[in-house]
Each structure stands twice: as structure tokens, then as C-alpha cells.
Structure 1
Amino acid sequence: MTRVDLNLLPALDALLTERSVTGAARRLKLSVSATSRTLTRLRAVTGDRLLLQAGRTLVLTPYAEQLSQRISALTHEVEGVLSRTEHQFDIATLEQRFTLRVGEGFIDQLGAALMDRIRRTAPGVQLRFAPKPNWNAQPLREGAIDLEIGIVKTSAPEVRTRLLFRDRYVGVCRIGHPLLSERSISVEQWAAYDHVMTSRTGEAESSIDAAVEPPNGRRKVRMVVPSYTSAMQLTRHSDLLAVVPHSCVGNSFVPDYAAANGLQCFELPVPIPAFNISAIWHSRLDHDPAHCWFRAEVLDLCLEAYPRNLPQASPPLHR
């Protein structure tokens, strides 16, 4: 392997991620001229220009686009093989920050319970909850996100998943809402009231919204908000109705969460399928001791919180 210089891997990773020689130099702690020379070497080794000028910015060539899907994981794996030293993994002395990308409902319902669980065994661990504007897998590839919790909406082959629990949608309204006086709620009665819709992107229509539409009409959506927690707060102080995941209205730790917040949930009068909530991470973390421990803690927490919503047979924590 006389032609292979493994020192080029971190440089290639930085250049393809930053798409800027200056940005890559800053990340590598090198001068811009040294990074530019490294790019020249990479072009010679790969036989591809990798980065092309497009106005004032650089864009990736098609070959570089292919490499960008693999290079980050490959760099971490090579670094782990060549530089990792054997050590005894000690949870009690672990000092690490785990970044999670989750919805506001998970933070509201289980954030404190997860922190309490972690603190008992690993007091040096910090949790950071990142916003979840979309389901883009790139932050997992780049290492900006350690673990995502939610619906799997990526087919990226390097992404790993583990089912945490099954969830379903329910209706919510304030306690004492006129709709609750009905012995059974019909589609017509439900659709007669004003609704608040949750849309993370801000769009006025979504796949969930289409699924809960009455068969012979449309709901009167008066408000669109970015989170289920916001929708629940609005229904608490008005006659608006909302559709939220059942996991947002309570669990084994806080079984009376809805009532304590002035809300009552009810079964929707329109059929809508249940869905899976999973842990999602990058394959490079499959066998990392700290990440394996953390994933197990999240799984155990969900087992306690939603014991009836997990199938008996489950896949392993990593594959």
C-alpha cells in the first residue's frame, strides 16, 4: 500500500464536509495553503477534481458526492483501528456528552426521567437535546447527533435502528369540552369543532393530517403549530381539538399527565394506523462501549414508560 497515505482521510473528510478549503483548514488546524496543497494531492490520488468552483462557492463532483456518504464513517473506523488503546470501560467515571435529536414530546415526557436514570450510574454524563426540524440523516453521519428517537424516515444503509415502542394517535381537548358530553363521538361531531394542526415544517397539510380527515369533508383547521406540546397547550385554553401521539399524554412515570394539565384524550372517530418509535444511530457507533450503554439505558427507560407498547420479540440493539 505504498500509494496510500491514511493522513489524507481526515483531510478528505473535512473538505467534503465543509465544501471549503478555508473551512477545512480551520477544522484541521492547518494553514489554507497547506490544505490547498492537500486537495491537490487528493485530486492526484483519486483522479477526480472533487471540488469545483461554482460562483463564490465550491460544489462536489458526482464522485465526491458518493465519497461523502462513506468518508466520515471510514475515517472514524480507521482512526479507531490504528489509535484506539485498550482500556477498562467504567460507567461511573465516564465523562461524555450525548447529543439526542428528539421531538418536544419526548423531552417533556421522559427527559427528566432519562437524566435521573443516567445520573445514578454515570454522574459525569451530560445530555444535549438538539432541535428536530427534519429527518435528514446527515447529522448522524457527521457525528453531530449521537442518537435520534422517532419515526425512521431514512433508507441510508449505514444507519442502524432499534424499535423502542409502538405509538398511536389520539384526540385531545380541554377537560369539560362540549364534545365529551357525547356518549360516543361521531366523525361529524368531531369535525364540527375547530382544530389545531401540528406541522413541524409549517406546511398546512401533512400525511398525518390527510389520514385523519373525515371521509365526507374536511376538518376546520384554524391554527398550525410546530409541536405537539404547543397544540396541547392551545387546546387546554380553548375549545380547539388536536391530534397527538398517545405517548404525549402520559406514561408509567406520569400516568395522569393529561389530567394534570387540564386535558383529556379520546379515541379518534377515524381509523389511523399505529406507528413505530425507534432509536436511530450511525453504524460507526455500533460497538462503542459508551454508546452501547447509553442505547441500553434509553431502551430500558422506554420499556418502563410504555411496557404494553413493545412487541415480545425485538431485534438486537445493533446489527
Structure 2
Amino acid sequence: MQPDLNLLRTLDVLLEEGSVAKAARRLHLSPSAMSRTLARLREVTGDQLLVRAGRGLVPTKRSEDIRQQVRSLVQDADILLRPQEGLNLSTLQRTFTLRTSDGFAETFGQALIRKIHDEAPGVQLRFVRKLDKDSAGLREGSIDLETGVVAGPISPEVRSQALFTDRYVGVVSAQHPLIGRKMTPQVYTGWPHVIAWRAGLDLGRVDELLDDFGLARKVMTTVDGFATALALCRGSELIATVPEKHTAALREGMHTFPVPLPAKEFTLSLLWHPRLDGDLAHRWLREAVRAACGSTLPIH
């Protein structure tokens, strides 16, 4: 007997809502009809899928294991069956999840939201902070688009498009004593630093380059993001080293200077799953992000 693929969408909604009544309303069904569908899902899968916990329902281990796969299959089906003859932005109703590098939403988010609101007022954006280089969310469908530095060959499961080039700069408070001094590696390392560090974060090889001069930064504190590093600098004599374009909005009112080292520029790219290549709404979103960033890099 062929499986009923309509059950996948019902299961996706049930797992997201955690309630038969809420899932029924969302799918325009009666609660009794939704209860019968849940019973059929349990029969087909051989698992309870959702079990009672207090006044609500919680997913079983099997449901947790297949949740992302179910979501991905439903999204793939939506894309496959969506008409491709045109895209009406004025009536588009969709939520996109963007996983972005530190400072990206603060610097480029306002321009992007304005563009989205003007062109497609029914579209919502959800920003998620990027804490590592794991792109599982793209494969599973929980992330629509993310930003990142592509340092080498990427997986065939990921598409990329260059956004802009960036470089690392030094930042201090507007009252810092070193302002006005000629910046050298010795002056740069002569003051305490706050370092934004976490696993997988590209720090521009600053410490390796300093080591070539026989120097090292005096690290007073370590944080997990550039926004926090800059916040600590504002009221202290700490130096932060951050990406210039990423943190433009965060550095307002502070003093920025070139890092006195031969640090190379790097390119920030958009990343997405190949399943979304032909999705007209996603293609429009990618171009909206490029426009918000003022990107002039060629599309490959």
C-alpha cells in the first residue's frame, strides 16, 4: 500500500504546535478529524509520536529524531509544487530564517527590513545568530539562508554567492589615550585587549602575524561575539579587533584604526541549500540581502 503523503504535512504541524486543537485550527480541520489523523499516523509509524504531558502533548523520541526530516520533506514538496510562472511579492506570505554572522543584523538588518516591507509586506524575517560553521540547518530546512566566510571548496549540498569583502580593524573608545599616536605593532600590543573568540570563528590570523614580529596581545578578557567586545571597549581602555563592515553600526561613536599588520581581506558570502535554487521567493530574498549590503560583487 502506498503511503499517504498528506500525513507528512499534518505531522509537521502537530510537532510544531504540540496541540491537536491548535493543529486542527491551522489546517482548517475539526479537532475530531485531527485526532483521527493522529491515530492514523500512530498506526502507520508504529509510534505514539505525541504523548500527554500535563495539559499539552510532547513529542516522543521517534518524533524528535524525524522532526527535521519531516520539515525538510514538507518544504521540498512546497517548492516542487509551487507555480513558477511568476512571483507576486505583494501577496507573498512567508517567513524566512536567516542565520547570520556577528554584527550582520545590526549593520544591515534595517536596510533589509525596509526593502522587505516595501516590496513584500507579508514576508517575515527571523534572524538567528551564527555561533559555529555547522550548516546542518540548511540541509534540514530549518535555515533558509546564512552568511559565512568560504575559505575553500564547499560541500555540494551548499550553494554560495559572494556579498562583500571585509577586513579586520582595531577599535577603542572615543576618549582612548592612544588616539593620535602613530599605530605600530608595538603600540597595538601595548594596551590590553578584549578578544571575541569561539570555536570556528575566523580572527584574521592577527595573533599569528604578531608572532612574526615577536609580539603578542595582552588579553584581559574574552567574549563570544564582536558586539560584546565593542560594548566592553566603550567604557574602558581595551582594544577590540573586529571586522570593519560587519560592525559598522556597532562602532558608531568609537575610534577605529587600521590594524598595523599585513592582514588579508576576506569575503563574506551567502549560503543556501540547492533545493532552493529555483525558488523564486528565495531568489528574490537573496537579491534583497545583496542590495541591503550594497553588494557590487559579481554573481557566480
8 Å Cα contact 2:103/2:246 also seen in 1: yes
Describe the shift of the 1:267–1:79 C-alpha distance in structure 2 as closer, same or farther (beyond 3 A): closer
Q: Which stretch shows the higher mean deviation, 93-102 or 71-80?
A: 71-80
> Match for 2:93: what amino acid?
E
Counterparts of 2:71 and 2:125 in 1: how far apart (Å)? 23
* Identity across matched positions, percent: 33
Say which SS state the counterpart of residue 161 (structure 1) adopts: strand
Offset of 1:35 from its aligned partner?
Answer: 5.0
Give 2:206's aligned residue. 211
Q: Normalising by structure 2, what TM-score? A: 0.73
Aligned-pair distance for 1:274?
1.3
Give the C-alpha shift of residue 36 in structure 1.
6.4
Q: Deviations over 1:62-85 (max 9, x none)?
A: xx9xxx99997676545654x445
Aligned CA distance change for structure 1 residues 279 and 80 (closer, same or farther; 3 Å): closer
Query: How far 1:152 sits from its partner (Å)?
Result: 3.4
Shifted more, 210-219 versus 92-101: the winner is 210-219
Which secondary structure does the structure 2 equivalent of 1:114 belong to?
A: helix
* Corresponding residue of 2:157: 158
Q: Is the 8 A contact 2:68 2:140 kept in 1?
A: no
AA partner of residue 147 (structure 2): I
Pick aligned residue for 2:262 from 258, 271, 277: 271
Counterpart in 2 of 1:110?
A: 108
The whole-number CA distance in structure 2 between the counterparts of 1:86 and 1:207 is 39
Following superposition, the deviation at residue 39 of structure 1 comes to 5.0
Q: 1:287 to 1:34 in 2, by over 3 A?
A: same
TM-score (normalizing by structure 1): 0.69
Gaps of 5+ in 2: 24-33, 47-59
Q: 1:139 to 1:171 in 2, by over 3 A?
A: same
Listed as ranges, the matches of 1:157-236 within 5 Å are: 157-183=156-182, 185-201=183-199, 208=203, 210-213=205-208, 214-215=210-211, 216-236=214-234
Contact 1:96 1:124 in 2 (8 A): yes
SS at match of 2:117: helix
What letter matches 2:133 in structure 1? W
Question: Corresponding residue for 1:141?
Answer: 139
Report SS of the residue matched to 1:100: strand
Q: Distance in 2 between matches of 1:211 and 1:9?
A: 53
The Cα offsets for residues 123-180 of structure 1, whole Å up to 9 and x where unpaired, read as 1111111122222211112221111022237833121110000111111111232222
Q: Cα deviations across residues 71-116 of structure 1 (Å, max 9, x unaligned)?
A: 97676545654x4456642111212111111134111111111111
CA distance in structure 2 between the aligned counterparts of 1:142 and 1:194, rounded to whole angstroms: 42
Partners of 2:74 and 2:90 in 1: CA distance: 29
d(CA) in 1 for partners of 2:222, 2:3: 53
Which position in structure 2 is the counterpart of 1:49? none
1:5-53 residue CA offsets vs partner (Å, 9 max, x unmatched): 5849959x98xxx9xxx9xxxx9x787875566457xxxxxxxxxxxxx
Q: Distance in 2 between matches of 1:155 and 1:4?
A: 37
State the alpha-carbon separation in 1 of the partners of residues 43 and 150 from structure 2: 41
1:246 — aligned with what?
244
RMSD of the alignment, in Å? Answer: 3.8
- Change in Cα spacing, 1:80 to 1:291, as seen in structure 2 (3 Å) is closer
| Amino acid across the alignment from 1:314 | I
Aligned length: 267
Letter in 2 for 1:106: F
Taking a change above 3 Å as real, the CA distance of residues 116 and 80 of structure 1, as seen in their structure-2 partners, is closer
Map 1:1-319 → 2, pairs under 5 A? 7=5, 10=8, 38=44, 76-77=75-76, 80-81=79-80, 83-85=81-83, 88-152=86-150, 155-183=154-182, 185-201=183-199, 208=203, 210-213=205-208, 214-215=210-211, 216-250=214-248, 258=251, 261-303=252-294, 310=297, 313-315=298-300
Q: Distance in 1 between matches of 2:264 and 2:104?
A: 20
Kept in 2: contact 1:170–1:266 (CA 8 A): yes
Distance 1:125 1:270, change over 3 A: same
Deviations 1:175-204 (A, max 9, x none): 232222323x12111111100000245x9x
Change in 2 beyond 3 A, CA 1:136/1:6: farther
Cα distance between partner residues in 2 of 1:149 and 1:224: 23
Instruction: Describe the SS at the equivalent of 1:212.
Output: helix
In the alignment, residue 227 of structure 2 is paired with which amino acid? Answer: T
Alpha-carbon shift at residue 210 of structure 1 (Å): 4.9
2: distance between equivalents of 1:229 and 1:158? 31
Shifted more, 239-248 versus 132-141: the winner is 132-141
